[in-house]
Amino acid sequence: MTSRLIPIEKLPHGFDYPPEFLHVVELGILNLEPWAVVRNGAERMGDLRERFPNRRLVPFARRIDSDDIACWDISKSDKKIFVIHDYASPGWEQRDEFSEFNDWLRKAVEDLIEYEYDSGII
């Protein structure tokens, strides 16, 4: 399961995935529609660095129904989660902010319930 994560040697110096995030991944919770753990995270991290050079974003999840990416921005905090609208103009990219991973996870579960209801799955 951890093969989806950015390899340790490609992570920014001094950044480690929070244990609560690693625990969720080890449990195999990789998809909470509309959120899914990012594939090719190292590549996405490089793309984000090009588009938003003033931020040091480490992506971990993306919304399948938009260009939103959940990231740590280690230039601001190693704990906070920032939801970035990829491809937005710099300065207009930030959609949401969470104090820690578990706060984002609660919202992702709420999004899952809403997404399933709105799409007619349940």
For the segment 60-82, what is each residue's pLDDT rounded down to a tens digit?
999 999 999 999 999 887 789 99
Residue 44 is given by DSSP the state: H
- pLDDT bin (cut points 50, 70, 90) of residue 122 is low
End-to-end Cα separation, the chain, in angstroms:
28
1 has a pLDDT exceeding 70: no
Q: What share of the chain is helix, strand, coil (3-state, %, to 5)?
A: 35, 25, 40
pLDDT band at 39 (very low <50, low <70, confident <90, very high): confident
d(CA 106, CA 112): 10
Q: What is the pTM of this model?
A: 0.90
Residue pair 38/11 in contact by the 8 Å Cβ criterion: no
C-beta separation of 69 from 83 below 8 A: yes
**Contact (Cβ atoms closer than 8 angstroms) between residue 82 and residue 5:** no
Quote the crossing angle between the two packed helices 19-26 and 101-118, to the nearest 10°: 40
